[in-house]
Structure 1
Amino acid sequence: MPNDFEYEEMLNGELYVSKHILEENKSLNGKIIAQKINMEPIENQDRIKQLVKELFDSTGDNPHILPPVHVGYGRHTKVGDNFFANMDCIFLDVNQITIGNNVMLGPRVGLYTAGHPIDPDIRIEKLEFGYPITIKDNVWVGANSIILPGVTVGKNAVIAAGSVVTKDVPDNTIVGGNPAKLIREVSEKDKKIWNQKKKDYHDKRNLD
């Protein structure tokens, strides 16, 4: 395969021009697979899971995506075990998206690795860039949230619905807003509250 300068620069987080990427490295194949997922009858869950495994670079056990789903490439995204993405999520993976275990994305979450130069003279030359996004284990991203290029979301974090995440999110925190800011840490009090609710659920369920 000949050297593909533009594609390599894209994955290196440098400026590149997408139209010059060689045909064999373009994004069309991932978009075709995503289209197949979106056209598959929703009751055909086994077929959808098979296509999701074809779409992404790698998946852990039990990946679950509710169509429709949208991707840049698809093959630049890795997801861990028990991954869940609700309807209408976007994986704009011109650079790598790496997602850990037990991560949940609400409806219409956007993971955008792509960016454009601030200088308009450079931008109109169609030069662009992409920085990787990392989401660690046990993260919940609320509906309509956006995660921007270069962001790492720490383990056990919660991102409130409608947030625009422009900076790294520490482990065990709740962030929200535009731009997203620290709301508070996930505390021992949270654990006690939700363990009690879990106990109440099982107690009631066992009465049935």
Structure 2
Amino acid sequence: MRRRFHLLSNHRFESRVLLLFVALLAGAMILAKAASEIVEGDTMAVDRAIVLALRVPGDSALPIGPPWLTHAIIDLTALGSVAVLSLITCLATGYLLVERKPTIAAYMLAAVASGFAAGTLLKWVYARARPDIVTHLVGTHSASFPSGHAMNSAIVYLTLAVLLARSAQRRSVRIYLISAAISLTVLVGCTRIYLGVHWPTDVLAGWVVGGLWAVGCSLAAKQLQSRKSIEGAGTSP
């Protein structure tokens, strides 16, 4: 009886993984189609209107708002940089190691590193130019689509929030962690548009790809954890 339950559990695990794989493929196909239309310029009118709305009329080099707001946004956009996100990931990894959770720590590192690599590959594939209708308020050194800051923020903050929320006992704590991660992700993406270094659709694509990546990694981690529990129960005397 125990062996039969074990086989059924394994079957359900494989089915869920297959369904997840198919769903991710379908999402990737839709995203690829949308990305193709974006790069071809089908959304350029909306992109231009939003970027220009954030600059003083008649002066594309001057953003709207007081000077302190620009300085604050330049500081806040660093929360989505590779350097800051890598530091946060390392600190979170150290925390998990201290908590004696090396498997989760290794999984998190792999999820973040592979996500960063995926973002770099997408930029290379689409090679969309940065906005040229306003002055960039910070330096740039890569292609525009998708926004690396928006995508990497979603990958790191959402993945960390989900992993930390699993160890939280109270529902309010879990809600806070997820809400904080989403807020940080949205904030970083908006700063890129304000600074004139990304089109709005670049940021939207970064959020979508990063969010899907975080969700996929979270579901995969949950399934692997469930399978490990089942196998442990099956081998117990």
Question: Smaller-chain TM-score range?
Answer: under 0.3
Larger helix percent: 2
Q: What TM-score, normalized to structure 1?
A: 0.25
Of structures 1 and 2, the one with the larger relative CO (CA 8 A, separation 6+) is 2
Larger strand percent: 1
Q: What TM-score, normalized to structure 2?
A: 0.23
